[in-house]
Amino acid sequence: MFNFFSQSVKDSQEVLDKGPAKTKQSLWKQLGKAVAGKAYVDEAVLDSLEELLISADVGLETTVKIIERIEQRVARDKYLNTSELNGLVQEEIMALLEEQETSNTAFSTSASPYVILVVGVNGVGKTTTIGKLAAHYQQTGKRIILGAADTFRAAAVTQLQQWGQRVGATVVSKGMHTDPAAVAYDAVKAGIQAQADVVIIDTAGRLHTKVNLMQELYKIRRTISKCLPGAPHEVLLVLDGSTGQNAFVQAKAFTNATNVTALAITKLDGTAKGGVVIGISDQFQVPVRYIGVGERVEDLQVFDRQAFVASLLGNA
Protein backbone atom coordinates (compact mmCIF):
# COMPACT_ATOMS: atom_id res chain seq x y z
CA MET A 1 0.00 0.00 0.00
CA PHE A 2 1.29 3.46 -0.72
CA ASN A 3 -0.03 6.72 0.45
CA PHE A 4 -0.23 8.93 -2.56
CA PHE A 5 -2.29 11.75 -1.12
CA SER A 6 0.59 13.38 0.62
CA GLN A 7 -1.29 16.52 1.59
CA SER A 8 -1.31 17.34 5.24
CA VAL A 9 -4.50 16.76 7.19
CA LYS A 10 -4.97 20.49 7.40
CA ASP A 11 -4.75 20.99 3.64
CA SER A 12 -7.17 18.22 2.94
CA GLN A 13 -9.56 19.62 5.52
CA GLU A 14 -9.47 22.96 3.78
CA VAL A 15 -10.42 21.47 0.45
CA LEU A 16 -13.07 19.34 2.10
CA ASP A 17 -14.60 22.40 3.73
CA LYS A 18 -14.89 24.08 0.38
CA GLY A 19 -16.61 20.98 -0.92
CA PRO A 20 -19.93 20.36 0.72
CA ALA A 21 -20.14 23.98 1.86
CA LYS A 22 -23.67 24.52 0.68
CA THR A 23 -24.81 21.37 2.39
CA LYS A 24 -23.08 22.44 5.55
CA GLN A 25 -24.75 25.80 5.46
CA SER A 26 -28.22 24.52 4.78
CA LEU A 27 -28.11 21.66 7.28
CA TRP A 28 -26.71 23.90 9.94
CA LYS A 29 -29.13 26.72 9.23
CA GLN A 30 -32.18 24.51 9.01
CA LEU A 31 -31.29 22.71 12.18
CA GLY A 32 -30.99 26.10 13.83
CA LYS A 33 -34.40 27.13 12.54
CA ALA A 34 -36.01 23.91 13.69
CA VAL A 35 -34.86 24.38 17.25
CA ALA A 36 -35.29 28.16 17.48
CA GLY A 37 -37.06 29.11 20.69
CA LYS A 38 -37.08 25.55 22.00
CA ALA A 39 -35.09 24.49 25.00
CA TYR A 40 -35.56 20.73 24.64
CA VAL A 41 -35.62 18.21 21.84
CA ASP A 42 -39.25 17.16 21.29
CA GLU A 43 -41.32 15.41 18.58
CA ALA A 44 -41.52 18.55 16.45
CA VAL A 45 -37.77 19.04 16.54
CA LEU A 46 -37.23 15.41 15.53
CA ASP A 47 -39.74 15.80 12.69
CA SER A 48 -37.84 18.81 11.39
CA LEU A 49 -34.56 16.95 11.69
CA GLU A 50 -36.02 14.03 9.76
CA GLU A 51 -37.22 16.35 7.02
CA LEU A 52 -33.92 18.06 6.66
CA LEU A 53 -31.93 14.80 6.53
CA ILE A 54 -34.23 13.62 3.75
CA SER A 55 -33.93 16.92 1.93
CA ALA A 56 -30.12 16.57 2.12
CA ASP A 57 -30.51 13.21 0.33
CA VAL A 58 -29.42 11.01 3.18
CA GLY A 59 -32.19 8.70 1.95
CA LEU A 60 -35.25 7.44 3.81
CA GLU A 61 -33.77 4.19 5.11
CA THR A 62 -30.70 5.82 6.65
CA THR A 63 -32.66 8.84 7.91
CA VAL A 64 -35.04 6.55 9.78
CA LYS A 65 -32.07 4.79 11.41
CA ILE A 66 -30.57 8.09 12.52
CA ILE A 67 -33.87 9.42 13.89
CA GLU A 68 -34.52 6.17 15.78
CA ARG A 69 -31.15 6.44 17.45
CA ILE A 70 -31.82 10.00 18.51
CA GLU A 71 -35.28 9.07 19.76
CA GLN A 72 -33.65 6.50 21.99
CA ARG A 73 -31.38 9.16 23.39
CA VAL A 74 -34.36 11.45 23.96
CA ALA A 75 -36.25 8.64 25.68
CA ARG A 76 -33.35 8.24 28.08
CA ASP A 77 -32.95 11.94 28.64
CA LYS A 78 -36.30 13.75 28.42
CA TYR A 79 -34.73 17.13 28.90
CA LEU A 80 -32.16 16.85 26.17
CA ASN A 81 -31.09 20.36 25.38
CA THR A 82 -31.54 21.51 21.78
CA SER A 83 -28.07 23.01 21.92
CA GLU A 84 -26.72 19.47 22.18
CA LEU A 85 -28.67 18.26 19.16
CA ASN A 86 -26.08 19.04 16.54
CA GLY A 87 -23.34 17.20 18.41
CA LEU A 88 -25.70 14.31 19.01
CA VAL A 89 -26.61 14.03 15.33
CA GLN A 90 -22.93 13.96 14.44
CA GLU A 91 -22.25 11.29 17.05
CA GLU A 92 -25.08 9.08 15.87
CA ILE A 93 -24.20 9.40 12.20
CA MET A 94 -20.59 8.51 12.96
CA ALA A 95 -21.67 5.54 15.06
CA LEU A 96 -23.89 4.34 12.23
CA LEU A 97 -21.13 4.62 9.66
CA GLU A 98 -18.61 2.95 11.91
CA GLU A 99 -20.82 -0.12 12.00
CA GLN A 100 -19.93 -0.67 8.38
CA GLU A 101 -17.15 -3.18 8.36
CA THR A 102 -15.76 -1.86 5.12
CA SER A 103 -12.14 -0.90 5.11
CA ASN A 104 -11.23 2.18 3.19
CA THR A 105 -7.75 1.11 2.23
CA ALA A 106 -6.69 1.34 -1.39
CA PHE A 107 -4.05 -1.10 -2.65
CA SER A 108 -5.00 -3.98 -0.42
CA THR A 109 -2.85 -6.25 -2.57
CA SER A 110 0.72 -5.80 -3.67
CA ALA A 111 -0.20 -6.71 -7.25
CA SER A 112 1.84 -5.04 -9.92
CA PRO A 113 0.50 -3.47 -11.94
CA TYR A 114 -2.49 -2.66 -9.77
CA VAL A 115 -5.43 -2.59 -12.16
CA ILE A 116 -8.36 -0.26 -11.51
CA LEU A 117 -11.48 -0.56 -13.65
CA VAL A 118 -13.57 2.59 -13.49
CA VAL A 119 -17.31 2.26 -14.09
CA GLY A 120 -20.42 4.44 -13.88
CA VAL A 121 -23.00 6.12 -16.09
CA ASN A 122 -22.25 8.95 -18.50
CA GLY A 123 -21.28 12.31 -17.13
CA VAL A 124 -20.70 11.30 -13.49
CA GLY A 125 -17.02 12.20 -13.70
CA LYS A 126 -15.23 8.93 -14.50
CA THR A 127 -12.66 10.37 -16.88
CA THR A 128 -12.06 13.42 -14.69
CA THR A 129 -11.59 11.22 -11.61
CA ILE A 130 -9.14 9.04 -13.57
CA GLY A 131 -7.19 12.16 -14.56
CA LYS A 132 -7.07 13.37 -10.97
CA LEU A 133 -6.02 9.95 -9.67
CA ALA A 134 -3.37 9.61 -12.37
CA ALA A 135 -1.99 13.02 -11.42
CA HIS A 136 -1.72 12.01 -7.77
CA TYR A 137 -0.01 8.71 -8.58
CA GLN A 138 2.32 10.40 -11.01
CA GLN A 139 3.31 12.95 -8.39
CA THR A 140 4.41 10.17 -6.08
CA GLY A 141 6.62 8.71 -8.78
CA LYS A 142 4.33 5.89 -9.83
CA ARG A 143 4.28 4.72 -13.39
CA ILE A 144 0.75 4.94 -14.78
CA ILE A 145 -0.93 3.53 -17.85
CA LEU A 146 -4.44 4.64 -18.80
CA GLY A 147 -6.72 2.54 -20.98
CA ALA A 148 -9.26 4.34 -23.18
CA ALA A 149 -11.96 1.67 -23.13
CA ASP A 150 -14.81 4.17 -23.46
CA THR A 151 -14.95 3.73 -27.20
CA PHE A 152 -18.64 4.55 -27.48
CA ARG A 153 -18.85 8.29 -27.01
CA ALA A 154 -17.34 10.73 -29.48
CA ALA A 155 -14.93 12.76 -27.38
CA ALA A 156 -14.15 10.11 -24.78
CA VAL A 157 -10.84 8.86 -26.17
CA THR A 158 -9.55 12.38 -26.83
CA GLN A 159 -10.55 13.50 -23.35
CA LEU A 160 -8.54 10.70 -21.73
CA GLN A 161 -5.59 11.40 -24.03
CA GLN A 162 -5.65 15.03 -22.94
CA TRP A 163 -5.53 13.98 -19.31
CA GLY A 164 -2.68 11.59 -20.13
CA GLN A 165 -0.70 14.40 -21.71
CA ARG A 166 -1.43 16.72 -18.86
CA VAL A 167 -0.26 14.35 -16.15
CA GLY A 168 2.40 12.56 -18.20
CA ALA A 169 0.78 9.13 -18.33
CA THR A 170 0.78 6.79 -21.31
CA VAL A 171 -2.69 6.25 -22.79
CA VAL A 172 -3.46 2.98 -24.56
CA SER A 173 -6.15 3.48 -27.18
CA LYS A 174 -7.42 1.82 -30.32
CA GLY A 175 -9.69 4.71 -31.24
CA MET A 176 -13.46 5.08 -31.31
CA HIS A 177 -15.89 2.23 -31.85
CA THR A 178 -13.25 -0.41 -31.17
CA ASP A 179 -13.80 -3.34 -28.80
CA PRO A 180 -13.49 -1.97 -25.24
CA ALA A 181 -12.39 -5.36 -23.88
CA ALA A 182 -9.55 -5.45 -26.41
CA VAL A 183 -8.45 -1.96 -25.33
CA ALA A 184 -8.53 -3.03 -21.69
CA TYR A 185 -6.48 -6.13 -22.52
CA ASP A 186 -3.88 -4.07 -24.36
CA ALA A 187 -3.69 -1.54 -21.53
CA VAL A 188 -3.02 -4.26 -18.94
CA LYS A 189 -0.49 -5.90 -21.27
CA ALA A 190 1.25 -2.55 -21.77
CA GLY A 191 1.23 -2.11 -17.98
CA ILE A 192 2.93 -5.46 -17.47
CA GLN A 193 5.50 -4.79 -20.19
CA ALA A 194 6.30 -1.30 -18.94
CA GLN A 195 6.38 -2.55 -15.33
CA ALA A 196 3.82 0.09 -14.48
CA ASP A 197 2.57 0.45 -10.92
CA VAL A 198 -1.01 1.27 -11.81
CA VAL A 199 -3.26 0.70 -14.83
CA ILE A 200 -6.52 2.63 -14.82
CA ILE A 201 -9.18 1.72 -17.36
CA ASP A 202 -11.91 4.12 -18.41
CA THR A 203 -15.20 2.65 -19.62
CA ALA A 204 -18.35 3.79 -21.38
CA GLY A 205 -21.25 4.90 -19.24
CA ARG A 206 -23.90 4.20 -21.79
CA LEU A 207 -24.43 1.71 -24.53
CA HIS A 208 -27.62 1.02 -26.43
CA THR A 209 -29.24 -0.62 -23.45
CA LYS A 210 -28.43 -1.12 -19.79
CA VAL A 211 -28.10 -4.87 -20.26
CA ASN A 212 -25.49 -4.24 -22.92
CA LEU A 213 -23.51 -2.07 -20.56
CA MET A 214 -23.43 -4.66 -17.79
CA GLN A 215 -22.56 -7.44 -20.24
CA GLU A 216 -19.81 -5.31 -21.69
CA LEU A 217 -18.36 -4.67 -18.23
CA TYR A 218 -18.44 -8.39 -17.55
CA LYS A 219 -16.59 -9.05 -20.78
CA ILE A 220 -14.00 -6.38 -19.98
CA ARG A 221 -13.40 -7.90 -16.56
CA ARG A 222 -13.02 -11.38 -17.92
CA THR A 223 -10.61 -10.21 -20.59
CA ILE A 224 -8.52 -8.28 -18.05
CA SER A 225 -8.28 -11.32 -15.80
CA LYS A 226 -7.09 -13.42 -18.74
CA CYS A 227 -4.27 -10.97 -19.29
CA LEU A 228 -3.42 -10.71 -15.58
CA PRO A 229 -4.96 -13.27 -13.22
CA GLY A 230 -6.48 -11.54 -10.18
CA ALA A 231 -7.05 -8.28 -12.06
CA PRO A 232 -8.92 -5.97 -11.91
CA HIS A 233 -7.88 -5.42 -8.29
CA GLU A 234 -10.32 -2.60 -7.90
CA VAL A 235 -13.64 -1.83 -9.57
CA LEU A 236 -14.28 1.81 -8.81
CA LEU A 237 -17.87 2.96 -9.28
CA VAL A 238 -18.17 6.70 -9.82
CA LEU A 239 -21.41 8.39 -8.72
CA ASP A 240 -22.48 11.99 -9.17
CA GLY A 241 -23.31 13.23 -5.67
CA SER A 242 -25.44 16.06 -7.02
CA THR A 243 -28.00 13.65 -8.51
CA GLY A 244 -29.39 12.66 -5.14
CA GLN A 245 -31.60 9.62 -5.30
CA ASN A 246 -30.33 8.77 -8.77
CA ALA A 247 -26.94 8.06 -7.25
CA PHE A 248 -28.61 5.46 -4.98
CA VAL A 249 -30.35 3.86 -7.96
CA GLN A 250 -27.07 3.67 -9.88
CA ALA A 251 -25.19 2.28 -6.88
CA LYS A 252 -27.80 -0.45 -6.62
CA ALA A 253 -27.75 -1.30 -10.33
CA PHE A 254 -23.96 -1.51 -10.55
CA THR A 255 -23.37 -3.32 -7.27
CA ASN A 256 -25.98 -5.90 -8.30
CA ALA A 257 -24.45 -6.43 -11.71
CA THR A 258 -20.75 -6.32 -11.03
CA ASN A 259 -18.38 -6.72 -8.11
CA VAL A 260 -17.84 -3.06 -7.21
CA THR A 261 -15.03 -2.74 -4.66
CA ALA A 262 -14.95 1.02 -4.04
CA LEU A 263 -16.91 4.20 -4.69
CA ALA A 264 -15.97 7.69 -5.76
CA ILE A 265 -18.67 10.31 -5.24
CA THR A 266 -18.15 13.43 -7.32
CA LYS A 267 -19.52 16.96 -7.64
CA LEU A 268 -19.93 17.48 -3.93
CA ASP A 269 -18.75 21.06 -4.44
CA GLY A 270 -21.89 22.28 -6.16
CA THR A 271 -24.61 20.55 -4.23
CA ALA A 272 -26.79 20.92 -1.19
CA LYS A 273 -27.19 17.15 -1.23
CA GLY A 274 -23.99 15.90 0.40
CA GLY A 275 -26.08 13.61 2.59
CA VAL A 276 -26.03 11.17 -0.29
CA VAL A 277 -22.56 10.11 0.86
CA ILE A 278 -23.92 9.17 4.30
CA GLY A 279 -26.85 7.23 2.87
CA ILE A 280 -24.69 5.39 0.38
CA SER A 281 -22.02 4.60 2.99
CA ASP A 282 -24.75 3.18 5.20
CA GLN A 283 -26.63 1.20 2.59
CA PHE A 284 -23.93 -0.33 0.44
CA GLN A 285 -21.23 -2.61 1.75
CA VAL A 286 -18.73 -0.85 -0.45
CA PRO A 287 -16.39 1.80 0.93
CA VAL A 288 -16.52 5.36 -0.33
CA ARG A 289 -12.87 5.81 -1.25
CA TYR A 290 -12.78 9.26 -2.87
CA ILE A 291 -14.87 12.37 -3.10
CA GLY A 292 -14.69 14.86 -5.94
CA VAL A 293 -15.05 18.49 -4.94
CA GLY A 294 -14.40 20.33 -8.20
CA GLU A 295 -13.09 20.11 -11.71
CA ARG A 296 -9.46 20.89 -11.00
CA VAL A 297 -6.85 18.20 -10.76
CA GLU A 298 -6.42 18.78 -7.02
CA ASP A 299 -10.15 18.52 -6.32
CA LEU A 300 -10.12 14.89 -5.30
CA GLN A 301 -9.95 13.77 -1.69
CA VAL A 302 -9.55 10.48 0.06
CA PHE A 303 -12.86 10.16 1.86
CA ASP A 304 -12.61 10.77 5.58
CA ARG A 305 -15.92 9.90 7.26
CA GLN A 306 -15.34 11.87 10.38
CA ALA A 307 -14.19 15.02 8.64
CA PHE A 308 -17.01 14.73 6.14
CA VAL A 309 -19.79 14.35 8.71
CA ALA A 310 -18.36 17.17 10.80
CA SER A 311 -18.15 19.38 7.74
CA LEU A 312 -21.68 18.49 6.70
CA LEU A 313 -23.06 19.55 10.07
CA GLY A 314 -20.95 22.67 10.28
CA ASN A 315 -18.75 21.32 13.07
CA ALA A 316 -15.49 21.12 11.19
d(CA 173, CA 186): 8
15 in contact with ligand GDP (CB under 6 A) = no
Interface pick for ligand GDP out of 120, 164, 191, 314 (rule CB under 6 A): 120
Q: Binding ligand GDP by CB under 6 A: which of 257, 295, 304, 307? A: 295
Handedness of CA 55, 60, 62, 66 (dihedral sign): positive
Which residue has the CB atom at the shortest distance from ligand GDP?
292
Strands 288-292 and 300-302: antiparallel
Verify binding: residue 306, ligand GDP, rule CB under 6 A: no
Picking from 236, 238, 237, 247, the residue whose alpha carbon sits closest to that of residue 274 is 247
Which of these segments, 18-26, 124-132, 234-242, 275-283, binds Mg ion (CB under 5 A)?
A: 124-132
**Residue 127 near Mg ion by CB under 5 A:** yes
CB of 192 to ligand GDP, least distance (A): 25
3-state secondary structure of 227: helix
Which of 59, 113, 287, 292 is close enough to bind ligand GDP by CB under 6 A? 292
Site for ligand GDP in 252-271 (CB under 6 A): 266-267, 269-270
> To the nearest whole angstrom, how small is the minimum distance from the Cβ of residue 127 to Mg ion?
3
Q: Which residue in the set 127, 151, 255, 258 belongs to the binding site for ligand GDP (CB under 6 A)?
A: 127
- Please state the separation of Cα 277 from the chain's center in Å: 8
Question: Contact between 217 and ligand GDP (CB under 6 A)?
Answer: no
Residue 123 near which of Mg ion, ligand GDP, none (CB within 5-8 Å, type-dependent):
ligand GDP
SS (H, E, C) 5-40: CCCCHHHHHHHHHHCCHHHHHHHHHHHHHHHCCCCE
Q: Write the CB contacts of 215 (distance below 8 Å, at least 6 apart in sequence).
A: none
Site string for ligand GDP, 166-205 (x = CB under 6 A): ---------------------------------------x
Do the Cβ atoms of 17 and 316 come closer than 8 Å? yes
| Interaction residues for Mg ion, span 135-164 (CB under 5 A) | 156
Q: Collapsing DSSP states into helix, strand and coil, what is residue 218?
A: helix
* DSSP letters for 118-186: EE--TTSSHHHHHHHHHHHHHHTT--EEEEEE--SSTTHHHHHHHHHHHHT-EEE---TTS-HHHHHHH
Footprint of ligand GDP on this chain (CB under 6 A)? 120, 122-128, 205, 238, 266-267, 269-270, 292-295, 299
Applying CB under 5 A, the residues found at the interface with Mg ion are 126-127, 156
